[in-house]
Amino acid sequence: MKLPCSRLLLRIALASATLAATATQAAVPAPQRQYLLDFYVATNGAGWTTSTNWNGAPGTECTWYGVTCDGGQNTVTTLNLPSNNLMGTLPDWSALPDLQQIGLATNALTGAVPAISGLASLVTFDVSFNQLSGSLPSPVGLGQLQNYYAFGNQFTGAIPALAGAPALLRFRAYNNQLTGAIPALAGTNLVDIVLNSNQLTGSIPPLPASLTILRVENNQLSGPVPVAPPALAVGASTLCANNITPSVDAAWDKASTVTPWYTGCGTLPPAPGGATSIPTLSEWGLILMSLAAAAWGMATLRRRSHL
């Protein structure tokens, strides 16, 4: 039986649309699909809180929970799975060269973080609040990177150079086990540096004029405080406890809303006529013993005077 021309044309159109949709779905490169499959296995995907569509047929990758692709559905641009019960170690990122967002915060990931140096389009890197260890991946050469969040982990070693990431605005690596000095910050456009609760040493380097937040408390920093940038927000910065050299500085008082700003640091400013330091526990003990002995002596004299 012959179909009317209009119905035949409709069927051809539907078939063409189906083929076009299939071609679009299949456009994600095979290495990217394989990476996602490997990522699922490496991070215990079977135990994730949400894993909608993961491990679906080829061409469905851009519909998988936490995965976003570019407008043409040709490449993966986002891997965003925060608070999703990910466990295990991260595979190398090189199969996803067009990643713009890595959002893996508040999971139970362990081990070292693969290098991110090849991710030229990366804007946000967030692996905060996991159990990651080893060195922080270097952001040098990443011209689009704006946000680097690695706080609340077990990272060790030195902070990588930051001056080689010209777009970097926020660098937060607090609550780790980082050592060494704070790297040079001159020439950066950073507005937010949060490095408290590590084991950092040395002095605080000159700060960029763009900086609004500086938190470096609970480290082992020393030396004089640098000039306070004019952009510092009121009450958003903390410098102590450290062994930073005290100085009169109204700008830092304002930035920390503590007057003087060095309250809680390990040293006190020189007193008129000589230096004064906080007595140690043993020194306090000697002082108290001396006071007690003096009081006993006075009491003895009074008793004798009444005999």
How does pLDDT run along the chain (307 residues), one tens digit per residue?
455 555 544 454 444 444 444 434 547 899 999 999 999 999 999 999 999 999 999 999 999 999 999 999 999 999 999 999 999 999 999 999 999 999 999 999 999 999 999 999 999 999 999 999 999 999 999 999 999 999 999 999 999 999 999 999 999 999 999 999 999 998 899 999 999 999 999 999 999 999 999 999 999 999 999 999 999 999 999 999 999 999 999 999 999 999 999 998 875 444 333 333 444 444 444 445 555 555 554 454 454 444 4
* Among 97, 137, 134, CA closest to 114: 137
Q: Let me know: does 141 contact 118? Beta carbons within 8 Å.
A: no
Q: Let me know: does 98 contact 74? Beta carbons within 8 Å.
A: no
Q: Tokens representing 112?
A: 């070292």
| 109 backbone dihedrals φ, ψ, rounded to 5° | -70, 145
Q: Is 208 helix (H, G, I), strand (E, B) or coil?
A: coil
Q: Where are the alpha helices (DSSP H) in the chain?
A: 5-25, 30-42, 250-256, 281-305
Q: Let me know: does 215 contact 193? Beta carbons within 8 Å.
A: yes
Task: Please confirm whether the linkage preceding 233 is cis (ω < 30° from 0).
Answer: no
Instruction: Provide CB contacts within 8 A for 56, sequence distance 6+.
Output: 63, 64
Strand partners, 125: 102, 148
Whether the predicted model's global pTM rises above the 0.75 cut:
yes
CA distance 109 to 39: 12
CA distance 65 to 53: 7
* Among 113, 104, 58, CA closest to 78: 104
pLDDT in tens, 84-109: 999 999 999 999 999 999 999 999 99
Q: What is the 3-state secondary structure (H, E, C) of 126-170?
A: ECCCCEEEECCCCCCCCCCCCEEECCCCEEEECCCCCCCCCCCCE
